[in-house]
Amino acid sequence: MINKVTLIGNLGGDPEVRHLDNGTAVGRFSLATNENYRDKDGNWQKLTEWHNIVVWRDLAERAEKLLKKGMQVYVEGKISYRKYTDKDGVERTTTDIVANSFRLLEKLEGGAENRFPAAESGYAGGSSRSSEPASVAVNADPSPDEQLPF
């Protein structure tokens, strides 16, 4: 069985990262995806969906350093449903995308070149004058129970 989600969208805000009692970093951010379609009258409509993205450990720390509100990002992960009780005692259900990698897809204003911040310095490969866009993919190390048996 496969549980895989691929999204390309824009960040709704800077990632919020906190640390659990055992020191494990967990980050959260929202991602907006858009779909354009024609309605029954032939007019173009834009539908925006908001996704809750969760990142763990090193991926959370990298997201905190690299990602900023409005950036365009490619995210891969899995869909996760969970229940919780809110402060008023009401049981609620939420859907999260637990990311195992992301890739920055940011374009510079006024130019056709792309820039892709790197985990170390802020930018990876090439300059804004280069015709070859540099890229950086940030992947989480899968835990043994998340690795596929084939």
Instruction: For the chain, give the number of residues.
Output: 150
Which among 82, 141, 98, 67 is positioned nearest to 5, based on CA atoms? Answer: 98
Number of domains making up the chain: 1
Distance between CA atoms of residues 10 and 74, nearest Å: 9
DSSP string, 117-143: --TTTS--SS-TT-SS----EEEPPPP
Bridging pattern class, strands 91-104 and 44-56: parallel
CATH value at residue 14: 2.40.50.140
Instruction: Determine if the pTM surpasses 0.75.
Output: no
Domain-embedded: residue 103: yes
- Per residue of the chain (150 residues), what is the pLDDT tens digit? 999 999 999 999 999 999 999 999 999 999 999 999 999 999 999 999 999 999 999 999 999 999 999 999 999 999 999 999 999 999 999 999 999 999 999 753 444 444 444 333 333 333 333 333 334 456 665 444 444 443
Domain-embedded: residue 96: yes
Domain-embedded: residue 150: no
Residues spanned by the domain of 101: 5-145
Contacts for 106 with CB less than 8 Å, ≥ 6 apart: 71, 72, 114, 115, 116, 117
β-bridge mates for residue 77, sequence order = 5, 99
